[in-house]
Structure 1
Amino acid sequence: MAHSFFITMEKKSFTFDEIKLKLVNYCVYQDRCHSEVEQKMKEFLLIPEAKDDILLYLIKENYLNEERFTRSYIRGKFYIKHWGKNKIKLNLKQKGITEKLISKCMDEIDENDYEETIDKIYKDYFSKQKGLKDYQRKSKTIKYLLSKGFEYDIILEVNNE
């Protein structure tokens, strides 16, 4: 007979300094943006003034740096996840990062690396499409690259070289 266990956890109370330390560690573990830190703060019952104090502290001590976050996010999503610029921009905007900051930080992606990545993904994906006519394979491959956030004109440009 299977038993089911229910674990109940009481809401633990933390002091202001403990919460501040938890948020410092949250930022140290990985670069964060303001909206992520504000979301994390919702776990703690803080009055608005306390939230502001913590945010200001994190910014002043450089634990929270929107540009550093944006640059590291762009590098990670491109060089590790192989996302295109459109998908990266969209996800950063959803995190509340401004268009201006996104544009400024896009230089984290080397243009040659960008084109080589498109070329490599194109060839890999195209070669895996079996039992289709060439134009169908090409169409599916372009759709795949678009879904990864690469720009149509650049896909065609790289593909025609």
Structure 2
Amino acid sequence: MEEQKKQIIKLSRNAALAKAEHYCAYQERSQQEVRDKLYEWGLWKDDVEELISELIQTNFLNEERFAMAYVSGKFKIKKWGKVKIKQGLKMKRVPDKMIANALKTIDADEYLKTILVLAEKKIGSIHEKDAYKRKYKLTTYLIGRGFENDLIADVLKSNDLA
């Protein structure tokens, strides 16, 4: 089956604004996501920047609010670590200062507890006799989830999982 090429729809400025407002109201968006969507709808650079400015003024688009929601959702629901969350926000072109502020909202105790819970859950599924290989697999898994290596080592050591 052949892939169908996406047709670029040329929207008027007002139609694009209404559609963008709906797009932002449905879920928190980064400026880059909205910018990409507006270009996808066939708008020119000047119109895109004007619409983004208007969306910010009407509070449909708020980069800080987006960063907070992203951090909260990825940590609490997906159980991602700070490294992976930071990477995701950088891909959405969120400024570093906003990323740092949003990451500060993660409770340190809850963060360590999450590492422990994930480690305990994963260790049951690792069928490895050699203790070093088991620790390596567990550490690799947790690093893949975006947690910091030193915190992983501390949690594993203090809970006799290593």
TM-score, reference length from structure 1: 0.89
Q: Percent identity?
A: 34
Matched, 1:117 2:114: yes
Which 10-residue stretch deviates more, 76-85 or 92-101? 92-101
Which 10-residue stretch deviates more, 8-17 or 69-78? 8-17
- CA, structure 1 residues 41+61, in 2 after alignment: closer, same or farther (shift >3 Å)? same
SS in 1 for 2:50: helix
- The aligned counterpart of 2:151 is 154
Matched, 1:75 2:79: no
Matched, 1:48 2:54: no
| Matched residue type, 2:79 | H
- The aligned counterpart of 1:141 is 138
Per the TM alignment, residue 139 of structure 1 is displaced from its structure 2 partner at its CA by 1.0
Map residues 52-67 of structure 1 onto 2, 5 A cutoff. 52-67=49-64
Which 10-residue stretch deviates more, 7-16 or 49-58? 7-16
Contact 2:33 2:92 in 1 (8 A): yes
Which 10-residue stretch deviates more, 48-57 or 28-37? 48-57
Matched, 1:100 2:100: no
Per the TM alignment, residue 109 of structure 1 is displaced from its structure 2 partner at its CA by 1.1
- CA, structure 1 residues 54+148, in 2 after alignment: closer, same or farther (shift >3 Å)? same
Per the TM alignment, residue 135 of structure 1 is displaced from its structure 2 partner at its CA by 2.0
Matches of 1:80 and 1:54, distance apart in 2: 32
Per the TM alignment, residue 91 of structure 1 is displaced from its structure 2 partner at its CA by 1.3
> Aligned-residue CA RMSD in angstroms?
2.1
TM-score, reference length from structure 2: 0.89
Contact 2:115 2:142 in 1 (8 A): yes
Matches of 1:105 and 1:97, distance apart in 2: 11
SS in 1 for 2:40: coil
Larger radius of gyration: 1
Runs in 1 of length 4+ with deviation above 6 angstroms? 6-10
Q: Render the CA deviation track for 1:14-49: whole Å, top value 9, x for unaligned.
A: 332111111011111111111101110112222222
- CA, structure 1 residues 33+12, in 2 after alignment: closer, same or farther (shift >3 Å)? closer
Map residues 24-39 of structure 1 onto 2, 5 A cutoff. 24-39=21-36
| Matched residue type, 1:73 | Y
Matches of 2:41 and 2:115, distance apart in 1: 43
